[in-house]
Structure 1
Amino acid sequence: MRRSPALEALRFVFLLLVTIFVLAPLVVVLLASITPDEVLTSLVPKGFTTQWISQALDYEPFRVGIVYSAQVAALATVIALLLGTPAAYALARTRVPGAGLLRSVFVAPLSLPRVVAGFCFFALYVSLLPSAYGTVGGVAFAHVLLLLPFVVALVGAGLAGSDPALEEAARDLGASPLQAFFKVTLPQIRMPLLIAGVFSFLTSFDEVDLSIFLMPADTTTLPVAIFLRLQQDQDPTTSAVSSLMIVASLVIALLTGLAVRRAGLWRTGRTEGTGE
């Protein structure tokens, strides 16, 4: 049934408005980081400058925060994948007692305010694990709580779209459960794992509310350093470092898409789904 031109036009206008709503704050931040003025007064910059970016890169807390955030995000992503993938596999392929309750448990951190989660981890570290406070491992372990729901959901969706008969055939041919998983099942869920890893890394790198409870003021992640800088001075250096984070996120997403396309994972997914 062919849609009417009026309905198509209405859908286009709606999508355009949503796109503008999403991109407008990012555009404002990008413009504020390159305009010579300290305050952005119009959407048309009066000139172009890189002084704010240079000042942001010269600011010691920002430089320390970039390294600290990358370390925390990388470690948290690895732990989340190592824990979330077996959990998703158990929920998707085995008969676990109380599977519905376990799914609810994995989703529960999404409904917990991150400030509350941060305070809970702060109380845990101060009372029982004081050596973990402010360390890369301590912050990464707390971030895993936020990343597990996404890993379990994405990997679980990938397992739901894969063919369990192939794994069963591998076991019938003499492969152990681990061999069948790594040689048969894991290649089928490469794309969900890659997406879950990239999403987890970016989510951990950008986390503020939970992280601010778990580190001293002199050693912080980049988002927390930006937050503390805004409390002291609202100059364009914060816009500049935020612009660098926006560009870096877009570059990571682009490189991930190119890697997926180069590896033929999209093509593999379509072939498996259509049975060709």
Structure 2
Amino acid sequence: MTALVKALRWAWITACAVFITAPLLIVLVASVSTDHVLTGWPSGFTLEWIRTALSYEPFQVGFLYSIEVAALATVIALALGVPAAYAIARLDLPGTGLLRSIFVAPLSLPRVVTGFSFFVLYVSLMPTAYGTVGGVALAHVLLLLPFVISVVGSGLAGLDPQLEAAARDLGATPWRAFRQVTLPQIRLSLVIAAVFGFLTSFDEVDTSVFLMPAGTTTLPVAIFLRLEQNQDPTTSAVSSLMIAGSLLLAGLTAVALRRSGLFGTGRNEQKEQA
């Protein structure tokens, strides 16, 4: 029975992996296919579509714009999300449950609705923010906060609050105790939240499409606009580059974390406490 359960478990994991990766593989194959429309196995392979995507000016401008927006949104989301996660996890405040629900609420709101709401806000009250890096990043912060608070909150939940309390008893201020005791122990959660938030903001299209003019767009919006005009595999090529870039960033982050020893921090601390 145990062998059967293990076999079924691995079969389920394999099926899920195929289900998730199959669309990505189709995009990757379409980006190097000589066929304009991929209906089966490609009749040949070429790098023409990738060269076209790299030389297409709206994609170049959109890439730089997306980098600026994602970086700013990630920094703001961390600056707001870390204190919020700490307050929810550690401070005995009234209405903590309500505060947690408020931060998680954007997850239940369609992103199209979020984008249109910010569009109305900017047009009616903040017209100078429309189409700017700060205006788009502010909308993305609303989408990133639930993830940042969840990831950082899970990191805080695994820590012993008595360590920070001991630092305060020894004369450290609350800020110094947090900075020197708690913050180093949640570095892994902070890095994961930052990378995930950056990639989420960089790939956002449903909200961004409402917040910028056609001449100044993020890369995902530029892809969306090109799809409306042309159905060639150039969009598949730039999508493949985005997939490769995301995997590269995640891989480099994992290697950096492993070399820094952060992956083993939790296990080592548990052994030392034991």
Normalising TM by the smaller chain, what interval? over 0.9
Q: How far off is 1:9 after superposition?
A: 2.0
Which residue does 1:14 correspond to in 2?
A: 12
Assess if the C-alpha contact under 8 Å between 1:77 and 1:201 holds in 2.
Answer: yes
SS of the residue corresponding to residue 231 of structure 2 reads coil
Matched residues in 2 for 1:17 and 1:151: separation?
30
Which residue does 1:47 correspond to in 2?
A: 44
Matched residues in 2 for 1:201 and 1:115: separation?
20
Matched residues in 2 for 1:135 and 1:85: separation?
25
Which residue does 1:38 correspond to in 2?
A: 36
TM, length-normalised to structure 1: 0.96
TM, length-normalised to structure 2: 0.97
SS of the residue corresponding to residue 265 of structure 1 reads coil
1:169 is aligned, of 166, 169, 188, to: 166
Matched residues in 2 for 1:6 and 1:174: separation?
58
Gaps of 5+ in 1: none
Matched residues in 1 for 2:186 and 2:270: separation?
13
Matched residues in 2 for 1:8 and 1:38: separation?
43
List aligned pairs for 1:79-228, cutoff 5 A: 79-228=76-225
List aligned pairs for 1:217-256, cutoff 5 A: 217-256=214-253
2:4 partner amino acid: A
Matched residues in 2 for 1:93 and 1:5: separation?
44
Q: How far off is 1:267 after superposition?
A: 1.1
Q: How far off is 1:6 after superposition?
A: 2.4
Matched residues in 2 for 1:263 and 1:98: separation?
38
2:181 partner amino acid: V
Root mean square deviation of aligned Cα: 1.1
Q: How far off is 1:105 after superposition?
A: 0.4
What whole-Å deviation, never above 9, does each CA across 1:30-67 have from its counterpart, x for those lacking one?
00011122122324x33321110110111111101100
Q: How far off is 1:165 after superposition?
A: 1.4
Assess if the C-alpha contact under 8 Å between 1:159 and 1:189 holds in 2.
Answer: yes
1:257 aligned onto 2:257: no
Gaps of 5+ in 2: none
Q: How far off is 1:10 after superposition?
A: 2.0
SS of the residue corresponding to residue 102 of structure 1 reads helix
Matched residues in 2 for 1:178 and 1:4: separation?
51
1:97 partner amino acid: P
Matched residues in 2 for 1:111 and 1:6: separation?
38
Matched residues in 2 for 1:265 and 1:6: separation?
36
What whole-Å deviation, never above 9, does each CA across 1:117-174 have from its counterpart, x for those lacking one?
1111001101111000000000000000000000111101101101211111111111
Matched residues in 2 for 1:240 and 1:232: separation?
16
Matched residues in 2 for 1:182 and 1:13: separation?
45
What whole-Å deviation, never above 9, does each CA across 1:203-259 have from its counterpart, x for those lacking one?
000101100000000100011111111111110000000000000010011011111
SS of the residue corresponding to residue 266 of structure 1 reads coil
Matched residues in 2 for 1:141 and 1:161: separation?
30
Matched residues in 2 for 1:217 and 1:109: separation?
26
Which residue does 1:24 correspond to in 2?
A: 22
Matched residues in 1 for 2:58 and 2:175: separation?
45
4+ aligned runs moved over 6 Å, structure 1: none
Matched residues in 2 for 1:196 and 1:163: separation?
21
